[in-house]
Chains A and B, each alone.
Chain A
Amino acid sequence: MYVAVKGGEAAIENAHRLLDDRRRGDRSVPALTLDQIAGQLALAVDRVMAEGSLYDRELGALAVKQARGDLIEAIFLLRAYRTTLPRFGYSRPVDTAAMLVERRISACYKDLPGGQVLGPTFDYTHRLLDPALAEDAGTDQPVRREGETEPVMRVSEILAGEGLIEGDGAVAQEKGVGDITRTPMEFPMDRDTRLQALSRGDEGFLLALGYSTQRGYARSHPFAGEIRIGEVEVSVDIPELGFAVSLGRVQVTECQMVNQFKGSAKAPPQFTRGYGLVFGQSERKAMAMALVDRALRASELGEDMTAPAQDEEFVISHSDNVQATGFVEHLKLPHYVDFQAELDLVRRMRAEHDAARVTGAGDELEAAE
Chain B
Amino acid sequence: MNATAGAIATYNFAYLDEQTKRMIRRAILKGIAIPGYQVPFASREMPMPYGWGTGGVQVTASILGPDDTLKVIDQGADDTTNAISIRKFFQKTAGVATTTRTGDATVIQTRHRIPETPLKSGQVLVYQVPIPEPLRFLEPRETETRKMHALEEYGLMHVKLYEDIARNGHIATTYAYPVKVEGRYVMDPSPTPKFDNPKMHMSPALQLFGAGREKRIYAIPPFTRVVSLDFEDHPFTVQDFGRPCALCGAEHVYLDEVILDDAGGRMFICSDTDHCEERREAGHAGEMLAGEAAQ
Contact = CB atoms under 8 A, between A and B. Distances in A.
Interface of A: 1-3, 5-9, 11-12, 58-59, 62, 76-77, 79-87, 181-188, 313, 317, 322-330, 333-338, 340-345, 349, 352
Contacts of B172: 345, 349
A338 B260 contact: no
Contact of B51 (A9, A62, A329): A329
A84 B3 CA distance: 13
A334 B193 contact: no
19 contacts: A2-B267, A8-B84, A12-B81, A62-B8, A86-B19, A182-B23, A183-B42, A184-B41, A326-B48, A330-B49, A330-B130, A333-B82, A334-B74, A334-B81, A334-B82, A337-B75, A344-B174, A344-B239, A349-B172
- Which of B12, B20, B49, B191 is packed against the most chain A CB atoms within 10 Å? B49
B45 A83 contact: yes
A323 B141 CA distance: 18
A5 B143 CA distance: 42
Given A341-B174, A341-B194, A80 B84 contact: no
B40 interface: yes
B253 interface: no
B174 A7 contact: no
B46 interface: yes
Contacts of B15: 84
B17 A80 contact: no
Interface of B: 8-9, 11-12, 15-20, 23, 40-52, 54, 74-77, 79-82, 84-85, 88, 111-113, 130, 141-143, 168-169, 172, 174-176, 191-195, 213, 215, 239, 254-260, 267, 271, 273, 288, 292
Given A3-B259, A336-B256, A341 B84 contact: no
- Which of B40, B50, B77, B84 is packed against the most chain A CB atoms within 10 Å? B50
Given A7-B79, A83-B44, A86-B17, A337 B254 contact: yes
Contacts of B40: 184, 186
A322 B45 contact: yes
Contacts of B48: 326
Given A326-B52, A334-B75, A7 B80 contact: yes
B17 A85 contact: yes
Given A2-B260, A323-B50, A330-B50, A7 B239 contact: no
A276 to B, nearest CB: 23
A31 to B, nearest CB: 17
A338 B52 contact: no
Contacts of B255: 340
Contact of B142 (A76, A79, A87, A313): A313
B213 A327 contact: yes
A6 B42 contact: no
Nearest to A79: B45
Contacts of A87: 19
Nearest to B19: A86
Nearest to B45: A79
Contacts of A79: 45
Among all A-B residue pairs, the 3 with the closest Cβ atoms: A326-B50, A330-B51, A326-B49
B143 A59 contact: no
A342 B174 contact: yes
B295 to A, nearest CB: 10
B49 A185 contact: no
Contacts of A6: 77, 79-80, 273
Nearest to A185: B215
A337 B174 contact: no
Contact of B8 (A59, A341, A344): A59
Nearest to A7: B81
A3 B54 CA distance: 31
A326 B54 contact: yes
Contact of A9 (B77, B84, B192, B239): B84
B75 A336 contact: yes
Nearest to A78: B45
- Which of B23, B44, B259 is packed against the most chain A CB atoms within 10 Å? B44
Nearest to A6: B79
B19 to A, nearest CB: 6
A338 B45 contact: no
Nearest to B266: A2
Contacts of A186: 40
Contacts of B52: 326, 329-330, 333
B193 A340 contact: yes
Contact of B175 (A2, A11, A313, A338): A338
A84 B11 contact: yes
- Which of A1, A83, A181, A317 is packed against the most chain B CB atoms within 10 Å? A83
Nearest to B78: A6
Given A80-B45, A84-B15, A317-B142, 15 more contacts: A9-B79, A12-B85, A80-B46, A84-B16, A184-B43, A188-B143, A327-B213, A330-B49, A330-B51, A334-B80, A337-B192, A340-B256, A340-B271, A341-B194, A341-B239
B195 to A, nearest CB: 8
Contacts of A1: 288, 292
A338 B42 CA distance: 29
A338 B174 contact: yes
A81 B79 contact: no
A327 B281 CA distance: 39
